[in-house]
Amino acid sequence: MPSAANAPAPPAGMLVTGHFHKGPRYAISRSQGTRDWLLIYTLSGHGRIGHTGGERVTQAGDMILLRPGVPHDYGTARGARQWEPLWAHFVPRPGWLPWLDWPQVAPGILHLALRDAETAPHIVRRFRDVIRLNAGPSRQREALALNALEEILLWCDLANPRRETAGLDSRIRHSLEFICEHFAQPLNVARVAAHCGLSPSRFAHLFRAQTGDTPQRYLELQRLNRARQLLEFTQEPVAVVARSVGFENPFYFTLRFKRHSGASPRAWRRRHRPTGR
């Protein structure tokens, strides 16, 4: 393999993106690292990410994240005919930093394997959008591209094994999503279990084993959390709030709300309403 040229890094603060299709002799080295973060997704072929302790060979679905200031070199893997990466140099928005705590393959070099049939297509599509938008004619091209990049990082966070729900059975993960999207509708264990392809008894057992909670309690907590928001930020009557989050009986809603929140819905609204409203 040829020695890698010591390539300059782009100026920090700019979003720089690209899509390469490189042959077997491609290699880049940065002995001082970069002043920004570098995201590299292998679309096809095999790449190599070199570091002080060795190297990481990537294949389709591998996402590599390099922290600022980390010496590295990368290129087409030894013996590989080609490497096709999507890449982006970026400075993360402050709110993104908690999403960037990925497993390390070496100090400052992070890795996720994104081969899930649901996750990978989303990431590839949005990565292509990042590159297209960033090269577009719009005055807002960088802001639009950063929004697409943010979505990529959110999908990566869902796949991050350090994330609390990453190790969940996929059927339970889908049930959590289903409950969060449909909590205002009439839901019971049988309906959610059917959505996941499980019997009600098997679903209830697996849900509790994996989350430490029952499906009924998780559903109720989603409803009550949304009710708190509506009480704080809308003028809707309590009965309307109750129905909008899935409680048909306002009296029962008040009982459950007070038990979980320590105050009735009206008292909660008085206590938490923003001043001046």
Q: Is 251 contained in some domain?
A: yes
Closest CA to 238 of 222, 253, 223, 226: 253
Q: Which of 159, 180, 212 is the last residue of a domain?
A: 159
Q: Is 61 contained in some domain?
A: yes
State how far the Cα of 277 lies from the Cα of 275, in Å rounded to an integer.
6
Question: Residues with Cβ < 8 Å from 7, sequence gap 6 or more?
Answer: 28, 29, 30
pLDDT of residue 212: 77
Q: Which of 126, 159, 192 is the last residue of a domain?
A: 159
Domain count, the chain: 2
pTM of the shown model: 0.64
Q: Is 35 contained in some domain?
A: yes
Residue 151 maps to which CATH number? 2.60.120.280
Is the domain of 175 the same as that of 146?
A: no
Average pLDDT over residues 42-56: 92
Band of pLDDT at residue 277, cut at 50, 70 and 90: very low
Domain that holds residue 139: 5-159
Average pLDDT over residues 112-129: 91
Is the domain of 176 the same as that of 155?
A: no
Residue 252 maps to which CATH number? 1.10.10.60
Q: What are the b/e assignments for 240-270, b being 16+ CB within 10 Å?
A: ebbbebbbeebeebbebbeeebeeebeebbe
Is the domain of 219 the same as that of 155?
A: no
118 half-sphere exposure, CB direction, 13 A CA radius? 8
Is the domain of 124 the same as that of 50?
A: yes
Is the domain of 221 the same as that of 139?
A: no
pLDDT of residue 2: 45
Closest CA to 131 of 15, 3, 274, 277: 15
Whether residue 81 has pLDDT greater than 80: yes
| Torsion 216-222-224-227 (CA) sign | negative
User: Where do we find the tokens 């509708």?
Assistant: 185
Is the domain of 113 the same as that of 174?
A: no
Band of pLDDT at residue 174, cut at 50, 70 and 90: confident
